[in-house]
Structure 1
């Protein structure tokens, strides 16, 4: 494991979970309901949630009746998620760059969990791994930010106070990446992390999917599954087979 990967360090800290603890589960659940209904997934469907973080979407998908595996690079997150395991819900530590051991009816990559790497080859490798982890006729659901709208509405500076920690956030787009610099003082010392996500617009993603051999069936722009519009949509959601 390369130590320089920003996400390995940041996602494993308790501060990451503090900063994002008020993330909107209602949105996530609405999306899960809408997409599983849209794809008409029978309850026997096996779903891989990759990466799953602390498992909130996996747990909800499981509550809808699906057999779910959540996988994530962060050992901290998986340790937390394992508390929710049952006969039809399992969690494991897994790096997306490694081949997926089993095959699933559907694989979900949710909430901008992609585009972390310098080299396009690594992004393509992840998509190849996902393709190989799907059963024949399986669905891949990819949910990413809408880069064009993010660029147009970039909030360059923001301060968030959560659990008495003041997070100073600066955002910029530089060298093909959307960067979010997070600095704060906690537990007696200064901390700073940078989240880095590649600037991937719909055309670039279409190219990626094509290169790997996915067939795109739908492109949506939000969790209500509205039609994607590059200028106004909040999300870039791609369904492929």
Structure 2
């Protein structure tokens, strides 16, 4: 069983929902809609739906797919009219979604192993002619200043994350502890780390003809030390 199938419980999801400010979501959607050539959007994985809901507010028709039952239920409660689907990104093709733009936001690219990530990109290329990936675990972003541990509180949940990097497999292992004072969840997340060049080659192999790399939602160029990688791929 892949780690993320059991990771995103109500404790973890409550923390992440509280950790992201609405202004960040608005800035991210301002960025991605600049690449949309139509109104149909696939958001996979969609998490608790913050991007999908903002897109719908702007008039887009959105399908959100996520494996977390809690996240999908939360999203559906916030926006019941949207097309929310419980499903795994490892078998995205089974959803049969066709869109004008596909999103993989929230640093969720890299959850799958290499073969799974390549298959996921092929499925995304089949689903939409344009793809935007938000990836904070690109090697150029992550490795120059990888913190040993992080402690944060959000949404009434305390989070401690202890990082280790496996150089042989190119994986970031994150031991998370979430606690709300009553309940505690301990889980390990696994992120497969790619350079921007490796991701570009994977996107082209998946069927995308062009790839642009940005380092922020203002459109700045991606470089070593950029906080995140925003990759925009077109068929």
- Where do residues 16-35 of structure 1 align in structure 2 (5 Å cutoff)? 16-20=12-16, 21-35=18-32
Residue 186 of structure 1: how far off its partner (Å): 5.7
Give, in whole Å, the separation in 2 of the partners of 1:157 and 1:226: 28
Matched, 1:105 2:100: yes
TM-score, length of structure 1 as denominator length: 0.86
Could you say if the C-alpha distance between residues 236 and 166 of structure 1 is closer, same or farther in structure 2, counting changes exceeding 3 Å?
Answer: closer
Unaligned runs of 5+ residues in structure 1 are: none
Which one of the candidate residues 161, 164, 176 is aligned to 1:169?
161
What is the CA deviation profile of residues 38-94 of structure 1, one whole-angstrom value per residue up to 9, with x for unaligned ones? Answer: 32545xx1001110001011000111111111111111111111123355x221112
Greater helix percent: which structure?
A: 2
Cα deviation per residue 1:154-201 (whole Å; 9 max; x = unaligned)?
110233344665433211211311121112556766531111111111
| Two-structure CA RMSD over aligned residues (Å) | 2.0
Kindly state the Cα deviation for residue 219 of structure 1 after the two structures are TM-superposed: 1.4
Measured in 1, the distance between the counterparts of 2:179 and 2:80 equals 38
Cα deviations across residues 118-175 of structure 1 (Å, max 9, x unaligned)? 3x111111111111112xxx21111111322211111102333446654332112113
Moved more, 74-83 or 16-25: 16-25
Higher RCO (CA 8 Å, separation ≥ 6 residues): 2
The equivalent residue for 1:227 is 221
Unaligned runs of 5+ in 2: none
The residue aligned with 1:121 is 115
C-alpha spacing 1:109/1:181, structure 2 compared with 1 (3 Å) = same
* Number of matched pairs: 228
